[in-house]
Amino acid sequence: MNETFIKPFAEYAKPFISRNSLINRVRPFVGKDIIKVFTGQRRVGKSYLLFQIGAMILESNPKANIIYINMELAEFDFIQNHSHLLAFVESRLTGTHDCLFVDEIQDIDQFEKALRSLLAHGGIDIYCTGSNAELLSGDIAGYLSGRSIEIEVNSLSYPEFLQFHQLEESADAFLKYLRFGGLPYLIHLSLDDAIIFDYLKNIYASILYRDVVNRYKVRNTRFLEQLVRFLADNTGQLFSAKRISDYLKSQKINISVQVVLNYLDYLVKSLMVFRLPRTDLKGRKILETGEKYYFEDIGLRNAIIGFRQSDISKILENIVFNHLKIMGYTVTVGIFDSYEVDFVAEKPNHKKYIQVTYTMKEEQTLQRETASLLKINDNYPKYIISMDELPTSNIDGIIQMNIRTFLTTLME
């Protein structure tokens, strides 16, 4: 192994903007004998979260020994499997608050074997990041049986976007957010269409080929790209794999339902898109057919398909979904007979029902959006979220709220 160019952690660390909501979730586990796993799409800020955690650890213990590995850097190419990882880490242990940070750990073959050995060694504070949804549910959790915790890292919420870009909350700031999304690196670029979308298209290509094509040995890359464009064009629409297959056949593309299902699964595991199941609100059960798909970052979606004013309702819906997820809600689509509720957001002992629309100015729209919510016979809060610049109101127990107000006030 060639370790000549490996530097101390402090030389890799870069300046960061604090994301306190994430740090507050990590803090109770710092120094504990449990692996902290940060999952999320590439470029949502996982690496900078490690820098922030490292700064926090060194502030409380300046002598802490942070062993840092970033699998996206060429100097760490010699760490190809669990044996290399274990040998490298063991050669750098000092017994003085040893910490291990591994960025993009899924690029190390059978890394979970090394993590289990290091846990058995004891006295090592372990943090790792990954850009694949199988990281905790499969590779780590199945091998370490309860000795790991996952913390999901998302692109910036709207309040974080304002903080990072040093913007006052306003209609103009919100339009920038719904157009360009919340990838943290955008603070280094001019918020100009050509510049931002060129950057985002490169990020999209990196995710698609590194985290989907290469990881799952995808052969039909043309179809995969068409499938992503279909999801972008139908963001928030209820459909099945069969519907996609039938649509493709109408375009003279013959792809089986099973291949569609496989490719959808790969995209979900890459954390670029999220699959939202339906919940039968009468029977309180998850329905097996018909799902919605939303993008982790709305800017990425806009870069793929183009930003179109006619898509504004889809974009708003995606943004509300992302905010609920960032706030820690489990989200599904609600079905009540023939009625649909855009989002059923749940936490322990708490629930919200939410409809999202561009405007409520038309009476027909108001009736349509309220009808499904009025069918629900419980006392949990019910919302209609829109772009209308109106004060928050309560009509028949339904809270009507501007989306900017919703995103800046729903903070838990």
Interval 205-216: pLDDT, tens: 999 999 999 999
DSSP 330: E
Mean pLDDT of 301-326: 97
Is the model's pLDDT at 52 over the cut of 90? yes
- Please give the torsion angle defined by the CA atoms of residues 200, 201, 205 and 207, in that order, rounded to the nearest 10 degrees: 20
Q: Among residues of the chain, what percentage have pLDDT more than 70?
A: 96
Name, of 113-122, 242-251, 283-292, the range with top average pLDDT. Answer: 113-122
Phi-psi region of 104 (alpha: psi -120 to 50; beta: other; left: phi over 0): left
In a 13 Å sphere around the CA of 291, the CA atoms on its Cβ side amount to: 20
Rounded to whole angstroms, the Cα distance separating 290 from 279 reads 10
Is the model's pLDDT at 138 over the cut of 70? no
Stated length of the chain: 412
Task: Give the model confidence (pLDDT) of 88-118 as tens digits.
Answer: 999 999 998 999 999 999 999 999 999 999 9
Give the CA angle between residues 351, 135, 153 to the nearest 5°: 50
Structure tokens at 79: 């760490």
Is residue 17 helix, strand or coil?
Answer: coil
Mean pLDDT of 361-375: 87
Q: What is the pLDDT of residue 2?
A: 56
Task: Give the model confidence (pLDDT) of 243-260 as tens digits.
Answer: 888 877 887 778 888 999
Q: What is the pLDDT of residue 289?
A: 64
More confident residue, 77 or 96: 77
Mean pLDDT of 230-235: 95
Phi-psi region of 274 (alpha: psi -120 to 50; beta: other; left: phi over 0): beta
Domains of the chain listed by start with CATH number: 9-152 (3.40.50.300), 158-409 (no CATH)
**Neighbour count for residue 290 (Cβ, 10 Å):** 13
More confident residue, 255 or 165: 165
DSSP 235: T
Is residue 359 helix, strand or coil?
Answer: coil
Mean pLDDT of 143-164: 91
Yes or no: say if 91 and 114 are a contact pair by the CB < 8 Å rule.
Answer: no
Structure tokens at 342: 């855009």
**DSSP assignment of 72-124:** TSGGGTT--BHHHHHHHHHTT--SSSEEEEEESGGGSBTHHHHHHHHHHH-SE
Is the model's pLDDT at 412 over the cut of 90? no
Q: What is the pLDDT of residue 248?
A: 77
pLDDT band at 329 (very low <50, low <70, confident <90, very high): very high
pTM of the model: 0.94
Closest CA to 34 of 135, 111, 122: 122
Give the CA angle between residues 322, 218, 78 to the nearest 5°: 90
388 burial type by CB count under 10 A (0-12 exposed, 13-18 middle, 19+ buried):
middle
Average pLDDT, the chain: 92
Mean pLDDT of 72-92: 96
Is the model's pLDDT at 396 over the cut of 90? no
Rounded to whole angstroms, the Cα distance separating 344 from 354 reads 7
Contacts of 48 by beta carbon, 8 Å cutoff, 6+ apart: 14, 16, 17, 184
Q: What is the pLDDT of residue 362?
A: 84
**Neighbour count for residue 248 (Cβ, 10 Å):** 19
Structure tokens at 381: 């809060």
Mean pLDDT of 25-40: 95
Is the model's pLDDT at 3 over the cut of 70? no
Handedness of CA 222, 224, 227, 231 (dihedral sign): negative
Give the CA angle between residues 234, 229, 223 to the nearest 5°: 125
Rounded to whole angstroms, the Cα distance separating 394 from 380 reads 14
Q: Among residues of the chain, what percentage have pLDDT more than 90?
A: 77
User: How do strand 285-295 and strand 330-336 relate by DSSP bridges?
Assistant: unpaired
Rounded to whole angstroms, the Cα distance separating 62 from 2 reads 28
Yes or no: say if 107 and 73 are a contact pair by the CB < 8 Å rule.
Answer: no
Helices (H) then strands (E): counts for the chain: 18, 13
**Neighbour count for residue 366 (Cβ, 10 Å):** 18
